[in-house]
Structure formats: C-alpha cells, structure tokens
C-alpha cells in the first residue's frame, strides 16, 4: 500500500546509475487489457522501422478475429493491403511517436483502431461506458511519456517496461516470475496484521518468495520513514517468518546506511 515510500531511495539510486525503475501497481492491469495488448502489437507492426515478427503476428491475429480462411488468398491480400496502407499513414504522419497524448490518440484512432472492431466486440468490458476509450486514452498518455526515448520501438519497450526494474506490491505480483526478487521491508510495520491473521500474512510471504526463480533478497530497516513519519521497526511480531528463514540457512548481512533524513538502517 506504500510502495513509493518504501522504494523512493532505491529508485533514486538506480536512476543515478542510469537504470530505469517504475511503480507497476497502477499499470499492470491496464497493460493486461486485450485491446491495449492488440494496440501495442499493432504499433510494433505498423510503426516500427523494423517490424520483424510483429508484422506476421499482427496479420495472423487480425485474420483470426476476422475469421479468414487460410486458403482465402483474395481476402488475405486485402488485409495485407489495409495493413500496408496503415503503415504508410503512420510513417507519413509520425516518424517517431509524438510526445503529445492527443496526437498519439489520433494515430491509434486512424491507423490501428480500424483493425480492432472484432476484438472490441469479443470482450464484454468494452461494450458499456467509457472503459474502451479510457484504455486507449491511457495508452496514448503512457506512450507520450515514453516518447523521449526516440524511436517507436524504444517508446513501446518503455510502455511495456522492457529493460525497466518493476516495483510492485505482493498482491500485484501474483502469477509473475522474475530471475531475482528484492523484498523491501521485511518488518512488523509492513506486516501490521500478522498478529490477527498470521495465516493470511504468511501466505503473502509465500507469494513473495515464490516469485523468484533464482534469487531473493529481503531487507530490514531499523528506522523506516513512511510519508512524513519515521518510526523504529522490529521483527518481533513476524518472528515466525525469520525463524523459517533461519532454519533454511538464509545468509544475513548487515549494512549501515545514513540516508538524507539521517536515518540509520541495516
């Protein structure tokens, strides 16, 4: 619930080493939306200078949702002509993604959306209200923020978080896997409900552990600043977790750090 507070110093340190990091909690659900995934694939196929496999993937996907028979050569040629026209339109209007969300929304509207009608019709969440428009509007906003990277390929990589350290809560990490996981704040303050619901909190710990394929690191700080308040931390309430790790032979290292708030942490 306090992701930014727990990781702001880490983000600053990573930025100093030119390593990108971002909070994923607010963007993961949005990126999982089918219409957003299709738009990103469409832009990779139609806007990137070297579309590579994306062209064939997008072509096959649109052919599938249109119900094209694999042997219906005329209809496939028509689709390829439409795709080629859309690619030329983007090339003529935007050699690289503009840093303006409205301009990007227009690119989506004129070049990519004409292929999305069957996909939009397939999912009920887009049938009512403004959710469909909200998804594409959000995509345009995020892509505009990543336009500083230059080329379409780099900007789209930025949207999807490729080459970026993801920062997210345990809840949002469910179902995901990473080579290495760094769990920030294995402290009573983070597991404040452990005394009332130890099984639930222990399950959350297991979720965190099982995200890592190769390596996981836990951190503990003697003093933790959340918002404007600093408070001393302990691990007494979650001692059961530390006993598990001790039994498993988890190696412990101690470091002393003086932060910009004069906080000593280990």
**If DSSP codes are grouped into helix, strand and coil, which group holds residue 35?**
helix
Residue 120 has pLDDT above 60, yes or no: yes
SS3 182: strand
Instruction: Say whether pLDDT at 253 is over 90.
Output: no
Contacts 24+ apart (CB under 8 A), 124-128: 125/33, 126/35
Q: How far apart are CA 70 and CA 173, in angstroms?
A: 39
Would you state the structure tokens that stand for residue 225, as one six-digit string?
């600043």
Q: Which residue has the tokens 């990007």?
A: 104
- The predicted structure's pLDDT at residue 148: 86
When pLDDT is averaged across residues 166-189 and rounded to a whole number, the result is 92
| pLDDT surpasses 50 at 265 | no
Confidence category of residue 180, pLDDT binned at 50, 70, 90 = very high
Average pLDDT, the chain: 89
Summarize pLDDT for 76-102 with one digit per residue, the tens.
999 999 999 999 999 887 778 988 999
Structure confidence at residue 264 (pLDDT): 43
What pLDDT is recorded for position 156? 95
Question: Which pLDDT score, from 0 to 100, does residue 57 have?
Answer: 95
d(CA 18, CA 123): 40
pLDDT tens digits for range 183-192: 999 999 888 8
Q: Positive or negative CA dihedral for 245, 249, 253, 254?
A: positive
266 CB neighbour count, 10 Å cutoff: 13
Tell me: pLDDT of 263 over 70. no
- Interval 194-237: pLDDT, tens: 989 999 999 999 999 999 999 999 999 888 887 777 888 888 89
CA distance 146 to 162: 12
* Predicted pLDDT at 257: 66
Mean pLDDT, rounded, for 162-181 = 91
pLDDT digits (tens, 9 = 90+) for 1-42: 678 888 888 999 999 999 989 888 878 888 999 999 999 999
The residues, any chain, with a CB within 8 Å of residue 101's CB and separated by 6 or more, are: 137, 140, 141, 143, 144
């Amino acid at each position: 619930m306090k992701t930014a507070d727990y990781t702001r110093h880490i983000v600053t340190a990573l930025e100093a080493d030119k390593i990108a990091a971002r909070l994923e909690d607010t963007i993961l659900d949005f990126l999982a939306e089918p219409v957003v995934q299709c738009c990103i694939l469409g832009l990779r196929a139609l806007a990137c200078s070297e579309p590579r496999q994306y062209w064939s993937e997008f072509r096959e996907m649109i052919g599938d949702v249109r119900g094209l028979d694999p042997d219906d050569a005329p209809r496939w040629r028509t689709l390829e002509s439409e795709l080629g026209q859309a690619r030329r339109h983007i090339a003529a209007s935007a050699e690289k993604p503009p840093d303006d969300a409205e301009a990007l929304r227009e690119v989506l509207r004129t070049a990519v959306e004409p292929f999305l009608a069957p996909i939009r019709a397939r999912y009920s969440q887009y049938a009512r209200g403004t959710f469909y428009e909200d998804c594409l509007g959000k995509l345009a906003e995020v892509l505009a923020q990543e336009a500083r990277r230059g080329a379409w390929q780099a900007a789209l990589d930025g949207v999807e978080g490729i080459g970026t350290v993801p920062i997210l809560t345990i809840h949002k990490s469910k179902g995901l896997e990473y080579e290495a996981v760094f769990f920030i704040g294995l402290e009573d303050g983070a597991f404040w409900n452990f005394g009332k619901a130890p099984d639930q909190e222990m399950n959350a710990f297991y979720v965190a552990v099982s995200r890592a394929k190769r390596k996981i690191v836990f951190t503990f700080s003697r003093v933790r600043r959340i918002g404007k308040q600093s408070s001393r931390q302990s691990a007494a309430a979650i001692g059961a977790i530390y006993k598990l790790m001790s039994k498993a032979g988890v190696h412990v290292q101690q470091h002393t750090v003086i932060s910009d708030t004069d906080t000593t942490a280990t």
